[in-house]
Structure 1
């Protein structure tokens, strides 16, 4: 169902604008979950996708805007990448299957689902709140997912029973010993930079993994190392408002 779900929102719709803002503020949790999904042997997510605001200037008129979904998501702390999975209705500057590279500010929603239960989906939940009971039933059946209560949107798995998951992903804690062993076996990985100048410390900070960051710092990771764009791990922690990481990085 998601491939055909295109949403148009008026700039005069304050509730929709708030949904966009909430999606951007919480996108870091989406990325944290996806970051761990990439490392799982057995996948835990049914889907993971991001809705982007696409725009096109047309003569002197106001820009055309369409909100469409991408998957195969990447994120470096600044830029969201992925593949467009919608056919544009009006736009001619993008097409289904295009590689997309946009700043976080163009994100209008995100959604992941595990065991049929959804997380995020702020614009979807707003639309659900405006549906009649029969429309709501048809919508949820079409998606085949449990959207739960549109007044109580969760952003991380186990959030209600384990609110500490908002601070630390369980896998970050559980994988601590394996990370320690990995760094002992391959100490060069502590200072290794990828093609964009990111170290493991940068990547784990962007993903909000406190335990992983602690292990890297204890193993000698340099907090002053900068990416090719000039950013330290602390810069990303502040930018993404990972409050549990900022003191760690400031004091090293």
Structure 2
């Protein structure tokens, strides 16, 4: 990514606060795409990062210092986002560029991925672009090296206009079902294995919003009652992340 031209907006700006909330609400789409990206042999994404609000208490200040900065190499466990900070703070001294970080999802203020010439997400970016002149927008986009398109038309899922069903189920979840079945037949222990935090494959596919994979795992005997070390089932995660299309599968 090229060095970016920075445009600032007041944190109290109600439109920017709406952008923060919209980014949090739709973050599962970002994670769903990244989940599949990590399973691809040939990468499809040109860029994938999350903007996070970092805070620090400072003596003689009534409110904490807050800076919104980008994180890449993102992982997500359904509750917390982890990754590597890729910005230099302006005022904060409790984090620095290159630090590993882990924050709850309610500290997300934006997310962005790009592929095949299109950008997805970028709610705070688009809000800033909406306040710029055409010349400023061109300068901004050139600095990022991306085409952000229409700031009034923010995309969430790949080819969602051509295939609106992609907003419900990721196309790879549909296309990879047969190979997933073969994988489970060859490695049946993957159905019951739990990682150090107590997550099963069912938890992970549920968090990623993959209805097909969840249904297949249940057919192969996955136990939907298993809880993570933090006490959550796969159904708990799909409910809190808004994957409504998977709720009936896990409730049945």
TM-score range, shorter chain: over 0.9
Distance in 2 of aligned mates of 1:11 and 1:49: 21
Q: Which residue pairs with 1:197 in the alignment?
A: 198
Residue matched to 2:83: 82
Does 2:97 correspond to 1:93?
A: no
Report the equivalent of 1:144.
145
Equivalent-residue separation in structure 2 for 1:149 and 1:179 (angstroms): 37
- Whole-Å separation in 2 of the counterparts to 1:26 and 1:114: 18
Displacement of 1:144: 1.4
What residue is the counterpart of 1:37 in the other structure? Answer: 37
1:15 is aligned to 15
Is the alpha carbon distance of 1:2 and 1:245 closer, same or farther for their aligned partners in structure 2, counting shifts above 3 Å? farther
| Unpaired runs of at least 5, structure 2 | none
Contact 2:82 2:103 in 1 (8 A): yes
Deviation for aligned residue 1:115: 1.6
- Please tell me the root mean square deviation across aligned C-alpha atoms, in Å: 1.3
How many Å separate the matches in 2 of 1:19 and 1:161? 25
Separation of aligned partners in 2, 1:43 and 1:242: 25
Q: Measure the CA separation in 1 of the matches of 2:7 and 2:102.
A: 20
Per-residue CA deviation, residues 196-235 of structure 1 (Å, 9 max, x unaligned), is 1100000000000010001001110001001011100000
**Paired residues of 1:6 and 1:67 also in contact (CA < 8 A):** no
CA distance in 2 between counterparts of 1:233 and 1:6 reads 40
1:160 and 1:116 mapped to 2: Cα distance? 15
Conserved 8 A contact 1:3-1:86? no
Displacement of 1:6 after TM fit?
6.2
Which structure 1 residue ranges, 5 or more long, are not aligned?
A: none
Shift of 1:12: 2.1
Q: Matches of 2:23 and 2:64 in 1, distance apart?
A: 22
TM-score, normalisation: structure 2: 0.97
Are the aligned partners of 1:3 and 1:85 in contact in 2 as well (CA < 8 Å)? no
Q: 1: distance between equivalents of 2:34 and 2:95?
A: 25
SS of the aligned residue for 1:215 comes to: helix
Post-superposition CA distance 1:110-153 (Å, at most 9, x none): 00000231000000000000001111111111111111110000
Counterparts in 2 of 1:1-252, with a 5 A limit? 1=1, 4=4, 9-61=9-61, 62-251=63-252
SS in 2 for 1:230: coil
Secondary structure at the aligned position of 2:184 is classed as helix
